Amino acid sequence: MYRSGSISLLPQFLMAIILNRSWLMLILLLHQHDCGVSGKPQVPCIFIFGDSLSDSGNNNQLLTSSKANYIPYGIDFPSGPTGRFTNGRTAADFITQRLGFENLIPPFANISASDILKGVNYASGASGIRNDTGSHLGAKISLGLQIANHRAIASQIASRLGGDGKGRQYLKKCLYYVNIGSNDYLQNYFLPQCFPTSSIYNPEQFSEALIQEYSQHLRALYELGSRKFALFGLFLLGCVPNELTNHGDGSLLCVKEENRAVLMFNDKLRGLVDQLNEEFSDAKFIYVNSALISSKSPLLDGVDICLRSIGKSGCCQVRADGMCDPNKSPCAERSLKMFFDSFHPTEAANHFLATLAYKSLFPIFAYPMDISHLVRL
């Protein structure tokens, strides 16, 4: 899967991402064509679990401040605002297209007229692995509730196909895309004014508690018939504009303490992938390194310079909570920005992550294989 000798290029490649102002050019080098692929889909269905990084409209009707169904969100999406927390497509959307689906996966909130045999998006903005995460923002659908929703969908699929056995045979061929955990830090652990977790756990203990709870959720999905899992690690949250504004020291540097806490979680998630692959021989779990770096990398102490390239702010004018101010015009050069608001990546950044997740050049990005190999199993 990985070219012999390519690992020696990894430090230069990462530094190019960190230092090159025209970081979007790396997307063109990695992926010369659009993410859409014609022909038969590579899997029969995709089920998406997560938070605002993947939400496609599940929060629209909830009583919450965490919703994005208004301009300027969706300004580059064909149908305009949908509830996606970005200017265009999410990473999950790009993966869906890369896998050959003609249409994007619909949100659970709008499945009444949808073909559930092709998949469902359960992701909900502000949600987390923990049930209490994001509760200060209003209603949301935690990972546990997302799995409960999938249980209902799995039952409907089994009924359509003629029984539980046939339903499970069908579901085991599908891709389970899971990208969650950011809010357990941004909207929980790093908010001591709202949550007590940082006084109960040190960062090591909190990451371990999260992984243990995450593991139970994944086992619940396995029991429902899931067999192909793509688990996304967390981005360097200490480099998110909101964290720089609220927890930074006024410079352009990332918040190191937050990045180190995130990388503890990522290390444990990769370890969980090994554990689950050993435990469940009929399933395959992969880890996608959204941080593009590991806690053991010598580049970690220098990663703060990334903000000198990508900028301290997002592309839209934001409210006090870091979300885009309604009906205000965003920046024109959205393809050159990493963040759209104070939390969420632009479509260009989502495209970049999806490209690496689907077809990885180096083992550090997708382990033990990328999505393109996972779906062939």
Cα dist. 110→56, 59, 122, 190, 275 in Å?
10, 11, 10, 33, 36
- In this structure, how many other beta carbons lie within 10 angstroms of the beta carbon of residue 348? 23
Phi-psi region of 370 (alpha: psi -120 to 50; beta: other; left: phi over 0): beta
Scanning the structure block, which residue is given the tokens 């086992």?
219
Instruction: Give CA–CA dist 138/187, Å, rounded.
Output: 12
CB-neighbour burial class of residue 260 (10 A; exposed 0-12, middle 13-18, buried 19+): middle
Give the C-alpha separation, 45 to 31, whole Å: 24
For 298-375, strand residue ranges (E) read 366-367
What do you get for the CA distance between the two ends of the chain, in Å? 14
In Å, what is the CA distance from 317 to each residue of 73, 194, 320? Answer: 11, 25, 10
Structure-token pair, residue 146: 């997302």
Say whether the peptide bond before residue 72 is cis (omega within 30 degrees of 0): yes
Examine the residue annotation and report whether 52 is marked as an active-site residue of this protein.
Answer: yes
Instruction: Compute φ and ψ for 253, nearest 5 degrees.
Output: -85, 150
Give the span between the Cα atoms of 275 and 264, in whole angstroms.
17
Which residue of the set 341, 351, 360, 370 is catalytic?
341
DSSP 335: G
247 catalytic residue (yes or no):
no
Count of alpha carbons within 13 angstroms of residue 102, beta-carbon side:
3
Token pair, residue 73, equals: 């969100």
Of 31, 217, 344, 351, the catalytic one is: 344
Give how far Cα 7 sits from Cα of 4, 12, 283, 363, Å: 8, 10, 27, 8
Among 52, 207, 290, 360, the active-site one is: 52
Question: Using CA atoms, how far apart are residues 55 and 69, in angstroms rounded to an integer?
Answer: 11
Active site residue 341: yes
What burial class does residue 301 get, using C-beta atoms within 10 Å of its C-beta: 0-12 exposed, 13-18 middle, 19+ buried?
Answer: exposed
Catalytic positions are 52, 341, 344
